[in-house]
């Protein structure tokens, strides 16, 4: 009986051991299969379309000709003949300053002139008499000289009083304010009865715009973007008053005078605007988009393809590089050509690679250098990844390809060389059990970031 129980216990133990082994093997098999699951990639197609690279800025709408009408004399505003939005013509009476004070001053200066003329007549008579007496030696020479000097003083005094009369007339005329140009009154800064004081500066009575059918935008463009701005470039802009309407203009002038605001340098860009329908008002804020470059029906890829980098693996595919692009990358990485069978920028046994001892020569660059390689004509060279068949024939893996890029609109980038329409480029990667791959390792060609407008 004991022997039979021992055999039964032994069989039970063996069965348990076998079951545990099967369970462990199954777990290991499942774990290995999960670890070997192929990563999933998101791709986008290389397409053709239009691209617009623009510089954005803000500015203020202003009339092309804006005249501030002031007063050169002090006084009380007696009458106003123009108000806001009044259309005026050149020479039209628009304001009157109380002339009473200046009329009195004119009368006084005229009286002084008459007195000076009477004094001159008396001096002339005395000088003539002194001359006759001097000829007959009836008076001394000093008396004669005194009479002549008095005559000259009287003549000068008449000129002084005459000038005072002219000045009084001018001041009286300045009590009447006329419009200097044809236009429309934008602002009226005085009221009837208000006193204006012309001491150090002339007070402004009106602001008159010459023609509101043609206006300009004074846009403030940062120094980083001003290099792409030229005259006659097309401009699109919107204003808050009409958020759904796009207005158009043209760059008239890029002024050389810098504007400094909190250590930020910017430049005034003058944009001409046609305002025939009079919808745009002076002082409106314009959100400007200056078309710096435009391409029609060009190859383009999403910018996500330029940012994508695959997760690090044990093996890395050698990038597919054309001879032209290979030489360009070698020159951009410090003039180091690729070793035989290698890639541009690859570290050599003697450590003389294109940068700081790391493959790709992607070390720190001096000021003024770009963060990526450039082609023969200065076009940036970047790396994108496409799906290619694995060497073992099982599954697909990312394969790096060098391309030349052109302008970007912030969403898509122009492709000049390296891809064709219909190609699929990788824009993202999803791996089971891991976070999605973002922009991880550095560009295998030493490429850096590209500044976008």
Give the model confidence (pLDDT) of 216-272 as tens digits: 999 999 999 999 899 999 999 999 999 999 999 999 999 999 999 999 999 999 999
Flag whether the pTM goes above 0.95: no
**At the fourth CATH level, which superfamily is domain 99-174?**
Helix hairpin bin (1.10.287.470)
Percent of the chain with pLDDT over 70: 76
Give the per-residue pLDDT at 114. Answer: 95
Give the model confidence (pLDDT) of 193-202 as tens digits: 999 998 778 8
Q: What is the CATH number of domain 54-62+216-295?
A: 2.40.30.170
The 3-state secondary structure of the chain reads CHHHHHHHHHHHHHHHHHHHHHHHHHHHHHHHHHHCCCCEEEEEECEEEEEEEEEEEEEEEEECCEEEEECCCCEEEEEECCCCCCEECCCCEEEEECCHHHHHHHHHHHHHHHHHHHHHHHHHHHHHHHHHHHHCCCCCHHHHHHHHHHHHHHHHHHHHHHHHHHHHHHHHHCCEEECCCCEEEEEECCCCCCEECCCCCCCEEEEEECCCCEEEEEEEEECCCHHHCCCCCEEEEEECCEEEEEEEEEEEEEEEEEEEECCEEEEEEEEEEECCCCCCCCCCEEEEEEEEEEEEEEEEEEHHHHHCCCCCCCCCCCCECCHHHHHHHHHHCCCCCCCCCCCCCCCCCCCCCCCCCCCCCCCCCCCCCCCCEECCCCCEEEEEEEEEECCCCCCEEEEEEEEEEEEECCCEEEEEECCCCCCEEEEEEECCCCCCECCCCCCCCCCCCCCCC
Boundaries of every domain in the chain: 54-62+216-295, 65-97+176-210, 99-174
pLDDT interval class at 335 (50, 70, 90): very low
The CATH classification of domain 65-97+176-210, taken from the options 1.10.287.3510, 2.40.10.340, 2.40.50.100, 3.50.50.60: 2.40.50.100
Give the model confidence (pLDDT) of 2-44 as tens digits: 456 666 677 777 777 878 887 887 777 776 665 555 678 889 9
Give the model confidence (pLDDT) of 362-372 as tens digits: 333 333 333 45
């Amino acid at each position: 009986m004991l022997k039979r129980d021992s055999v039964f216990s032994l069989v039970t133990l063996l069965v348990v051991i076998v079951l545990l082994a099967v369970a462990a093997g199954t777990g290991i098999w499942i774990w290995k299969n999960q670890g070997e699951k192929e990563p999933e990639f998101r791709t986008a197609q290389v397409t053709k379309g239009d691209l617009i690279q623009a510089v954005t800025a803000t500015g203020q709408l202003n009339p092309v000709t804006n005249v501030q009408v002031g007063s050169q004399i002090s006084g009380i505003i007696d009458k106003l003949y123009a108000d806001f939005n009044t259309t005026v013509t050149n020479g039209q009476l628009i304001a009157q300053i109380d002339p009473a004070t200046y009329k009195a001053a004119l009368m006084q200066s005229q009286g002084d002139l008459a007195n000076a003329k009477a004094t001159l007549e008396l001096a002339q008579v005395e000088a003539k008499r002194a001359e006759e007496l001097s000829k007959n030696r009836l008076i001394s020479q000093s008396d004669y000289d005194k009479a002549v000097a008095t005559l000259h003083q009287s003549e000068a005094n008449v000129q002084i009083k005459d000038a005072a009369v002219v000045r009084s007339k001018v001041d009286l005329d300045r009590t009447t304010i006329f419009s200097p140009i044809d236009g429309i009154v934008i602002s009226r800064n005085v009221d009837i009865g208000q006193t204006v004081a012309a001491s150090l500066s002339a007070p402004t009575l009106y602001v008159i715009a010459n023609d509101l059918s043609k206006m300009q935008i004074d846009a403030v463009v940062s120094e980083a973007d001003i290099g792409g701005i030229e005259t006659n470039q097309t401009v699109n802009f919107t204003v808050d008053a009409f958020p759904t309407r796009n207005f158009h203009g043209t760059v008239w002038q890029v002024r050389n005078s810098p504007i400094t605001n909190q250590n930020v340098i910017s430049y005034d860009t003058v944009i001409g605007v046609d305002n025939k329908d009079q919808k745009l008002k002076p002082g409106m804020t314009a959100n400007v988009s200056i078309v710096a470059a435009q391409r029609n029906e060009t190859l383009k890829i999403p910018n996500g393809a330029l940012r994508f980098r695959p997760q690090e693996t044990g093996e890395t595919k050698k990038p597919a590089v054309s001879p032209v692009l290979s030489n360009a990358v070698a020159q951009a990485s410090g003039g180091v050509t690729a070793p035989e069978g290698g890639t541009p920028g690859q570290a050599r046994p003697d450590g003389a690679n294109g940068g700081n001892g790391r493959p790709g020569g992607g070390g720190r660059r001096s000021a003024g250098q770009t963060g990526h390689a450039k082609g023969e004509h200065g076009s940036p060279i970047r790396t994108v990844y496409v799906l290619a068949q694995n060497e073992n024939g099982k599954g697909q893996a990312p394969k790096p390809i060098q391309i030349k890029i052109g302008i970007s609109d912030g969403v898509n980038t122009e492709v000049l060389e390296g891809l064709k329409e219909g190609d699929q480029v990788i824009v993202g990667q999803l791996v089971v059990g891991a976070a999605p791959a973002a922009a991880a390792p550095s560009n295998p060609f030493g490429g850096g970031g590209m500044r976008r407008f």
